[in-house]
Chain A
Amino acid sequence: MTFHQPVQDTPLLRVTGLTKHYGARIGCADVSFDLYPGEVLGIVGESGSGKSTLLASLAGHLRPEFGRIAYDGRDVLAMSETERRRLSRTDWAYVHQNPRDGLRMGVSAGGNVGERLMAIGGRHYGDIRAKATDWLGRVEIAADRIDDRPSAFSGGMQQRLQIARNLVTAPRLVFMDEPTGGLDVSVQARLLDLLRGLVRDLGLSVIIVTHDLAVVRLLADRLMVMKSGHVVEQGLTDQVLDDPQHAYTQLLVSSVLQV
């Protein structure tokens, strides 16, 4: 048995001083962090603390006023929209809280999963279908549901379908906004397990926004705590949860039952 996995010494994503206002109100302010290949970064904070704003700014859905985002050494904010959108459908993935925002409800499950393949030039129906079938299997959706529309799926299945649709092109960076929100607890657990396996097997880098500390405890390597648009604390997930340094984090941790 050999165990040597080289530690990658260049971050996949390097964020510095990212700031986004909504008029006079702060969305997120002066956010900086590095994300390395294979790392899962959790972002927690109360409702309105700027988590989604930060995620949307990182993913290019919002335009921050200040700061830099370097992806794989490339300046994301200086990219043309064409380049950025190309990145969004190849190297990046975005899993929405509500699967309806991330799926095409009028298109079959297979078509949903195949879309990204076709978007990057997939032109062999048989191959696309085989890949879609494989991915449905990976997210535990039976192969015979491939021609059903997502509207015929349960919430948990829709969320898994959304994940398959996003991961089929083997992205390197995945953004997730409350991926387990709105699901009941046993379905959440199943999804978490699935995500952990995918993260490990595909070496994904993930930024996951959630207000569920149990979710980040199980999924995230590192944790960033946000309050009023600012990052008040960041570090190793279990360290931040078990030995929080900032008053706000202490409050956050103490206000949930054992995580």
Chain B
Amino acid sequence: MIRIENLSKTFTMHNQGGAIIPVMAGGALQVAPGECVGLIGQSGAGKSTLMRMVYGNYLAASGRIMIGDLDVAQAAPRQIIRLRRETLGYVSQFLRVVPRVPTIEVVAEPLLQLGVEPAAARARAAALLAQLNIPERLWSLSPTTFSGGEQQRVNIARGFAHRYPALLLDEPTASLDAVNRAVVLDLILEAKARGAAILGIFHDEAARATVCDRLIDVTGFMPKAAA
């Protein structure tokens, strides 16, 4: 489902003397449907950068990033928008939402974007929020004032609302207590079971052991010249 070949990335800092910073070269990996692959490597090795390139958030300098039959490295913006709407989910580390929008709407939004009936979308959102132990009295409030852990769970609920065939997870269990951590791992296992291809970053080794089928060390993709 996800196939990366010969991926490289450089940053050009125009406002710092035009410095060119190569951060990745020769990146390659595959994730099959129903499989969960964990990215590992020291801080700054490029895990998030790789993840962001897969999501189309960072531009690739060269190489291929195939999601199904779309090459994200070459795709037009609207192809990526469609991919993100229908196929590729992403749970980032931070929740970014329009202030004032109620939590239930934030979670239901990916489904509404797909044209799902509002009632059905909200029912699914409610089920996820309940599963993630967000008290019902908070559902009508904006998550902007929630605690870090609550925000993270809202973010996860939103990321799992639509059953994406491919999922990117950036530290989904980072600031969660044991109970909620277990819920999230269940969600991931459930997604694998229905055939989702998952690429994740997990600092928590136990979590990694529970959900990941394979691990890939991105240190191997660091450009030799710069290393």
Contact = CB atoms under 8 A, between A and B. Distances in A.
Answer whether A and B touch in the complex at a CB cut-off of 8 Å: yes
Interface of A: 1, 3, 5, 7, 36, 39, 186, 189-190, 192-193, 196, 200, 217-218, 221-222, 235-236, 238-239, 242-243, 245-247, 250-251, 254
B100 A193 contact: yes
A1 B113 contact: no
A165 to B, nearest CB: 23
Contacts of A246: 14
A178 B80 CA distance: 26
B77 A7 contact: no
20 contacts: A3-B115, A3-B162, A7-B78, A7-B82, A36-B78, A186-B99, A186-B100, A189-B98, A221-B77, A235-B77, A236-B77, A236-B80, A238-B57, A239-B57, A243-B11, A243-B57, A247-B14, A247-B15, A251-B14, A251-B15
Nearest to B99: A189
Given A3-B116, A7-B79, 20 more contacts: A5-B114, A5-B115, A39-B78, A39-B81, A189-B99, A190-B100, A192-B98, A217-B96, A218-B98, A221-B81, A222-B77, A235-B77, A236-B57, A236-B77, A236-B80, A236-B81, A239-B57, A242-B58, A243-B57, A250-B14
Contacts of A222: 77-78
A236 B120 CA distance: 30
Nearest to B78: A36
A190 B100 CA distance: 7
B101 interface: yes
A183 B15 CA distance: 32
A236 B100 contact: no
A254 B100 contact: no
B71 to A, nearest CB: 15
B171 interface: no
A218 B101 CA distance: 12
Interface in B62-95: 77-82, 85-86
B58 A1 contact: no
- Chain B's interface size range is 20 to 34
B121 to A, nearest CB: 9
A253 B162 CA distance: 31
A170 to B, nearest CB: 17
Chain A binding surface SS class: helix
Interface in B12-43: 12-15
- Of B77, B114, B162, most buried by chain A (CB within 10 Å of CB) is B77
Nearest to A245: B59
B115 A193 contact: no
Contacts of B96: 217
- Of B11, B14, B79, B96, most buried by chain A (CB within 10 Å of CB) is B14
Contacts of A247: 14-15
Given A1-B116, A200-B112, A243 B58 contact: yes
A189 B59 contact: no
B138 to A, nearest CB: 18
B200 interface: no
B3 interface: no
A36 B76 CA distance: 12
Nearest to A217: B96
Contacts of A236: 56-57, 77, 80-81
A221 B113 CA distance: 13
A38 to B, nearest CB: 9
B56 A239 contact: yes
Contacts of A242: 52, 57-58
A200 B113 contact: yes
A8 to B, nearest CB: 9
B218 to A, nearest CB: 18
Nearest to A190: B100
B88 to A, nearest CB: 13
B78 A221 contact: yes
Contacts of B58: 239, 242-243
A3 B86 contact: yes
Contacts of A5: 85-86, 114-115
Contacts of B99: 186, 189, 193
Contacts of B13: 250
A156 to B, nearest CB: 12
Given A239-B58, A250-B14, A3 B100 contact: no
Nearest to A1: B116
A60 to B, nearest CB: 25
B86 A189 contact: no
